[in-house]
Amino acid sequence: MSVDQLIQELKALPQEQRMQVVDAILSEDDSWIPESFRQGMKDIEEGRVVDMETALTQKPPGTE
């Protein structure tokens, strides 16, 4: 099977099945994802984020 054929078959799948394929691929090799991005996603999942407006207009706690 050629890459073009594989891509066409992937496009023909329903959205849910395409996501399953993507998840399977990413679980095998995520070396192309920068560590800083993975850390950012982990911070978001664990609630360590600040609203952009707050970050731009207020001083961080403990800096006054």
The model's pLDDT over 1-57, given as tens digits with 9 standing for 90+, comes to: 899 999 999 999 999 999 999 889 888 888 888 999 999 999 999 999 999 999 999
Whether 44 is in a domain gets the answer: yes
Whether 45 is in a domain gets the answer: yes
Whether 62 is in a domain gets the answer: no
Q: Do 10 and 21 touch, CB atoms closer than 8 A?
A: yes
Q: Do 13 and 21 touch, CB atoms closer than 8 A?
A: yes
Global pTM reads: 0.48
Distance of alpha carbon 33 from alpha carbon 35, whole angstroms: 6
Whether 63 is in a domain gets the answer: no
Under the banding of pLDDT at 50, 70 and 90, the label for residue 60 is confident
Whether 20 is in a domain gets the answer: yes
Whether 28 is in a domain gets the answer: yes
pLDDT at 53: 94
- In which domain, by residue range, is 11 found? 3-57
Whether 7 is in a domain gets the answer: yes
The greatest distance separating any two alpha carbons of the chain, rounded to the nearest whole angstrom, comes to: 63
Whether 10 is in a domain gets the answer: yes
The structural domain count of the chain equals 1
Question: Which 3 state secondary structure label does DSSP give 16?
Answer: helix
